[in-house]
Amino acid sequence: MFLIAEWYKYTSTPFDSSLTEYFRKRDIKEFESNNVSNRQKLAKKQNYVCPICKRSITDFKEGLEIHHIIPKYHGGSDEYKNLQLAHISCHIEYHKAFPAKAAIPPKAKENAWLKWYRRSIG
């Protein structure tokens, strides 16, 4: 029995669709053990998904930044309800399109850009 368990352990892969939930839970557990409580709270609030690209933030493929929904320049606060965790590249691209010191974009324009961005990254 031990040999079968060892073989299965080394042949398991995140690309196996039957193991998707296992790897998702494992990544969340690792994320929680490697991050401070405020990042854990933000990640849980957004279901461990980047609000910009809608991909997982728990895979450690890329660093994360705190994104202000309403920029501080426009009176936004540092309260949890105004914060999100986003991939660094997503955060950079978002602020290229919508600079923090520019006018706050209408939701329709922001949503159209987000749809385009998600399609462009594949």
Grouping H, G, I as helix, E, B as strand and the rest as coil, residue 2 is helix
State the pLDDT confidence band at 116, using cuts at 50, 70 and 90: very high
Task: Indicate whether 2 pLDDT > 80.
Answer: no
Which candidate, 59, 109, 108, 120, places its Cα nearest to that of 85? 59
d(CA 122, CA 119): 5
The more confident residue out of 59 and 118 is 118
* Phi, psi of 35, rounded to the nearest 5 degrees: -130, 155
In tens, the pLDDT along 35-69 reads 788 888 999 999 999 999 999 999 878 899 999 99
Residue type (1 letter), 34: N
Residue 3 confidence (pLDDT) above 80:
no
Task: Give the model confidence (pLDDT) of 62-112 as tens digits.
Answer: 899 999 999 999 999 999 999 999 999 999 999 999 999 999 999 999 999
H-run or E-run covering 65:
strand 64-68
For 5-26, what is the mean pLDDT?
Answer: 71
Tokens for 110, please give them. Answer: 């922001």
Contact residues for 6 (Cβ-Cβ < 8 A; gap 6+): none
Contact criterion met (CB below 8 Å) for 52 and 91: yes
Of 1 and 47, the structure prediction assigns the larger pLDDT to 47
Radius of gyration of the chain, Cα coordinates, nearest whole angstrom: 18
Q: Cα separation of 26 and 14, whole Å?
A: 11
